[in-house]
Chains A and B, each alone.
Chain A
Amino acid sequence: MNPKRRQRLFIVLFIVVGVGIAVGLTLFALNQNINLFYSPTQIAQGEAPEGRRIRAGGMVVDGSVIRSQESLEVSFEITDYENTVRVEYAGILPDLFREGQGIVAQGELDSRGVLKAVEVLAKHDENYMPPEVAEALEKAGKMPRPAGQEFNK
């Protein structure tokens, strides 16, 4: 390789590596701000600000869903299998909402540590399967459940 080309090769490598390091450090510094939501553990540790609009994500705890008889009000707990946070919401839930489903709720924490949600989104996991397979797995008790890790990075 002649010296001219070698010099240009180094310039190209310098651009790629330099930009990579710069962006890498920036992202590392901004790590917490890039997360879409706080996990229940982060909320329990007081990392989430009170009285400001935040998002919380976790699995809906089995048997925790309480629906109001006369209105759309609903209350449930979300967990990352270490801590839980209660969420209160009035509105239409997404179709995928169910116990054991991952969700992301947007709202404000009140003084009791309850999230007053204004929006609830369902978080789909990476598992896909036909209904018959799901039924068989459910019967055998081998349904894959997203690890709590998924909500706590």
Chain B
Amino acid sequence: MPRWFYQLASPRWCYQITGRLLPGFSIVALLLLLGGTVWALAFAPADYQQGNSFRIIYLHVPSAILAQSCYMLMAVAGAIGLIWKMKVADMVAKSCAPIGATMAVLALLTGAIWGKPTWGSWWVWDARLTSMLILFFLYLGVMALNSAIESESTAAQASAVLALVGLVNIPIIKYSVEWWNTLHQPATFKLTEKPAMPAEMWLPLLVMVIGFYCFFAVSLMMRLRNEILRRERRSGWVRDLLLSK
């Protein structure tokens, strides 16, 4: 194992490195989200069928991608916490859950708002929408377990197992539109093919997706730092840090 992996295990080192990374990520996230939003809403062309209502894609797609990425990070961090008994990994997993749940809600809400004018219905029980709703419930389950169990380490173990069990849902969300007949359209972007959208439409989307990832990094680091301070409140370095201010 490389040295940085073991350094990550130190809450103090983690607190310091995230403190140094935070300003950079915040500025990049702010610039990308502001620039991307203006580009997407004002300069990207309208769609030939949906007109301007398609622009909700610039919120819907990034939030849906983030909801799934965040879940994978939560499950991997949970697994590392289970296997290596690494406290920082447990804290990362715990910090991921509320952010992911918010992203899932955002994806479901923007989808419903888009669905009404385009499909003619707010909600349909098709495979994609249902599996995304299950993802949201999984996040709620992880959050509930974390707060219901008194002991920090038991709570982390229980929620990590739930996160790992729910991991099976991620490929189901991804491939639901290919395996079954759904109302939700298949993916516009595939790794192997050209996107089914011209560059002047997908470039702002790419900016928004990267912006969302940066924003996710910022909020995750902020939550993680709070969690580190809370759990390490009895250790010497946290006391020194608080007294020095």
Contact = CB atoms under 8 A, between A and B. Distances in A.
Interface string A9-28: 10110011001100110010
A100 to B, nearest CB: 11
A70 interface: no
Nearest to B117: A95
Contacts of A127: 188, 196-197
Interface residues of A, number: 47
B119 A124 contact: yes
A96 B47 contact: no
Interface residues of B, number: 42
B181 A134 contact: no
Nearest to A5: B83
Interface stretch (B34-42, B100-108, B141-149, B164-172): B164-172
Contacts, number: 124
Interface hub of A39, A95, A152 (most chain B Cβ within 10 A): A95
B137 to A, nearest CB: 15
Given A8-B83, A36-B126, A124-B119, A130 B185 contact: no
A129 interface: yes
A4 to B, nearest CB: 9
B172 A23 contact: yes
Interface string A62-92: 0000000000000000000000000000000
B181 A35 contact: yes
A128 B172 contact: no
A20 B179 contact: no
A126 B188 contact: yes
A8 B188 contact: no
Contacts of B5: none
Interface hub of B121, B181, B188 (most chain A Cβ within 10 A): B181
A106 to B, nearest CB: 10
Contact of A131 (B46, B117, B120): B46
Nearest to A22: B168
B82 A12 contact: yes
Interface hub of B49, B82, B172, B178 (most chain A Cβ within 10 A): B49
A130 B164 contact: no
Interface string A89-109: 000011110000000100000
A47 interface: no
Given A127-B197, A130-B45, A122 B118 contact: yes
Majority-rule SS of A interface residues? mixed
A12 B79 contact: yes
Contacts of B117: 95
Interface in B170-206: 172, 178-183, 185-188, 196-198, 200-201
A39 B182 CA distance: 11
Interface in A46-74: 57
Interface in B56-113: 57, 79, 82-84
A15 B83 contact: no
B185 A121 contact: no
A129 B47 contact: yes
B165 A123 contact: no
B83 A9 contact: yes
Nearest to B45: A130
A12 B157 CA distance: 11
28 contacts: A8-B82, A11-B82, A15-B165, A16-B168, A20-B168, A23-B168, A34-B179, A34-B180, A36-B125, A36-B182, A36-B183, A37-B183, A38-B181, A93-B120, A94-B120, A95-B118, A96-B50, A96-B118, A121-B119, A122-B119, A122-B120, A124-B118, A127-B188, A129-B47, A129-B198, A130-B198, A130-B201, A153-B180
